[in-house]
Amino acid sequence: MATFFPGESHTFSEYLLVPGYSSCECVPKNVSLRAPLVKYRKGEQPALSLNIPMTSAIMQAVSGPRLAVALAQEGGISFIYGSQTPEDEAAMVREVKDYKAGVVTSDSNLRPEMTLVDVLALKERSGHSAMPVTEDGSAHGRLLGIVTSRDYRPSRDSRDKRVEEFMTPIESLVTAPATATLSEANDIIWENKLNQLPIVNDDGTLVGLVFRKDYDAHKENPLELLDADKRYLVGAGINTRDYEQRVPVLVDAGADVLCIDSSEGYSEWQAITLRWIRDRYGDSVKVGAGNVVDGDGFRFLADAGADFVKVGIGGGSICITREQKGIGRGQASALIDVCQERDKYFRETGVYIPVCSDGGIVYDYHMTLALAMGADFLMLGRYFARFDESPTARVNVNGNYMKEYWGEGSARARNWARYDLGGDKKLSFVEGVDSYVPYAGPLKENVQGSLMKVRSTMCNCGALDLAQLRDKAKITRVSATSLVEGGAHDVLLKDSTSTSSVNFG
């Protein structure tokens, strides 16, 4: 006889928090969002913690080096996507670890033979007005010049004009050597009244650009997540197929934490992968596993040695697993069940294994709910895909700026290792879609805005940290009629766009 879970399975939107008493010191600036990232024993400190409970999804459209740096600057961590060769993934990890604060690797680069048409298209796509010109058009190619909006007049210049004809050539540029400190670079920027300064290696290849605004921004990152050598923390996705090749190169590249990326984690393949890592590296390599949606799945991965466990099947915004295979569980129900098992495991063994709620966060208040229901931290895909720093281009769709966002199980990502059960390498059906999400600007201001709401709701619950939130939260289910009451209703909106920020952030 099959097992029937009691009751229905529910999603975040079906719950609300009932405020508790908040004292005068319960104000957002006093709230700590620090969260354990990996398991620890009772009375000890976790080897890795987050300063904000956010991680970015292990996805091509989300977690590249640029987003990883931006998120680490805010106190969270990215997991670089594993659906690429181990060497390419390791190069991205290295790029984050080698990141010199304030030096930006340009993702809008030109070749000299390109034309003004290309410049305008690239500017439209990226939103960047300064574009380095390199010999081969790559981010670290030999620097030949730079194009900014001061170099051309779109109303007068021929669209066929070649970049090399109107760029500011290297001979006329002020540059700094790779050995320059950020403070020296900043002095050069101020002395020469520059907006950006190219940093160039001895052999003339481009390291990156220092922007006046980024230097200022760097000084404003009090929660940035750094390792002992003051480098940004970064994670990386692995799978249960090629871990023997992938894990060593990621560890060599300096990945701080790994995560087995799979649509379904309650499987022997994950135990085998974890065992291989433990045999080879002991506890020195931290690795999360998942995804599971019930207590049994959690306990299996806990016993198999996971450093954290990820929860969620079928709730991702680009996910069609439930439609295709009929597996999954409402994210809220799954999370509550798994967190209860985590607490039971802790009481029994004295080992606390953090739980990550992965996918299905639509509104900012879903973040607070997930944390109140017991998640130690969150993994978000759609949320981060919308920002400047995600790896995708910004596109204009019917007059609105959008970013592309596609599932790892879509035909576009072709991440079959994520779904592989050890048999046929090519599944004949997809579990994800290819989509657009509304472009939302820089990560920093969006994350800070979302977390301001989380902090302020925590204060409403009388909680100054995430452990207190879990203890004190009073959570209620809402009826379908109450859901209608929760939005603007029975009024005529003057500006129909005024709800867009509510819907997407």
CA distances from 343 to 49, 134, 361, 372 (A): 19, 55, 23, 14
Residue 420 to residue 241: CA distance in whole angstroms: 8
CA distances from 429 to 202, 320, 409, 412 (A): 50, 11, 9, 12
Is residue 38 a contact point for ligand IMP (CB under 6 A)? no
For position 391 contacting ligand IMP by CB under 6 A, the verdict is no
* CB-nearer residue toward ligand IMP: 65 or 381: 381
Binding positions for ligand IMP, 61-100, rule CB under 6 A? none
Q: How far is the CB of 14 from ligand IMP (least distance, A)?
A: 16
Annotated catalytic residue 319: yes
DSSP, residue by residue, 38-106: S-EETTS--SSEESSSEEE-S-TTT-SHHHHHHHHHHT-EEEE--SS-HHHHHHHHHHHHTPPTTEEPP
Q: How far is the CB of 206 from ligand IMP (least distance, A)?
A: 33
The DSSP result for 100-158, as a single string, is: PTTEEPPS--B-TT-BHHHHHHHHHHH--S-EEEETTS-TTSBEEEEE-GGG--TTTS-
Catalytic residue (one of 329, 418, 455, 470): 418
* Using rule CB under 6 A, residue 447 touches ligand IMP: no
Local structure of 225: helix, strand or coil: coil
Q: Should residue 381 be labelled a site residue for ligand IMP when binding is judged by CB under 6 A?
A: yes
For residue 257, the minimal CB distance to ligand IMP (Å) is 15
CA distance 267 to 210: 46
Which among 43-51, 315-323, 341-349, 484-492 is the span making contact with ligand IMP, rule CB under 6 A? 315-323
Q: Which is nearer to ligand IMP, 79 or 215 (CB)?
A: 79
The reply to whether 379 sits near ligand IMP by the rule CB under 6 A is yes
Find the shortest distance in angstroms from Cβ 61 to ligand IMP: 9
Smaller CB separation from ligand IMP, 171 or 424:
424
Residues in the chain: 505
- Does residue 264 belong to the site contacting ligand IMP (CB under 6 A)? no
Instruction: Measure the N-to-C terminal CA separation of the chain; round to a whole number of Å.
Output: 43
Under rule CB under 6 A, residue 357 binds ligand IMP: no
The CB-of-320 to ligand IMP minimum distance in angstroms stands at 7
Whichever of 72 and 379 has its CB closer to ligand IMP, that residue is: 379
359 interacts with ligand IMP by CB under 6 A: yes
Per rule CB under 6 A, is residue 360 in the interface with ligand IMP? yes
Instruction: Quickly tell me which residue has 């017991």 as its tokens.
Output: 374
Rounded to whole angstroms, how far apart are CA atoms 95 and 389? 14
Of 235 and 316, CB closest to ligand IMP:
316
**Residue 174: which of 155, 156, 193 has the closest Cα?**
193
3-state secondary structure of 168: strand
Binding to ligand IMP by residue 382, rule CB under 6 A?
yes
For the chain, counts of helices (H) and of strands (E): 17, 24
| Identity of the amino acid at 446 | N
Residue 403 lies near ligand IMP (rule: CB under 6 A): no
C-alpha distance from residue 188 to each of 104, 180, 183, 470 (Å)? 16, 10, 9, 49
C-alpha span between 210 and 182 (Å, rounded): 8
Q: What is the nearest approach in angstroms of ligand IMP to the Cβ of residue 456?
A: 22
Closest chain position to ligand IMP (CB): 432
**Of the listed pieces 28-36, 118-126, 128-136, 403-411, which binds ligand IMP according to CB under 6 A?**
403-411
Q: Which of 49, 60, 239, 321 binds ligand IMP (CB under 6 A)?
A: 321
Q: How many residues bind to ligand IMP according to rule CB under 6 A?
A: 25
CA distance 472 to 364: 19
Residue 358 binds ligand IMP, judged by CB under 6 A: yes
Distance of CA 470 to the CA centre of its chain: 24
Q: Please identify, using beta-carbon distances, which residue of 130 and 318 lies nearer to ligand IMP.
A: 318
Active site residue 275: no
Q: Which is nearer to ligand IMP, 11 or 175 (CB)?
A: 11
Q: Compute the least distance from the CB of residue 65 to ligand IMP, in Å.
A: 18
Segment lying near ligand IMP (by CB under 6 A), choices 32-40, 128-136, 266-274, 311-319: 311-319
Largest CA distance in the chain: 78
Q: What are phi and psi of 346, to 5 degrees?
A: -65, -45
We find the least distance from the C-beta atom of residue 79 to ligand IMP, in angstroms, to be 9
For ligand IMP, which is the closer residue by CB, 83 or 134? 83
Q: How far is CA 416 from the centre of its chain?
A: 21
> Does 318 engage in binding with ligand IMP (CB under 6 A)?
yes
Question: Looking at beta carbons only, is 140 or 412 nearer to ligand IMP?
Answer: 412
State which of residues 247, 255, 361, 451 lies at the interface with ligand IMP (CB under 6 A).
Answer: 361
Q: Cβ 294 to ligand IMP, closest distance in Å? A: 16
| Residue numbers annotated as active site | 319, 418
**Contact residues: ligand IMP, CB under 6 A:** 57, 59, 263, 291, 312, 316-319, 321, 358-361, 379-383, 407-410, 431-432
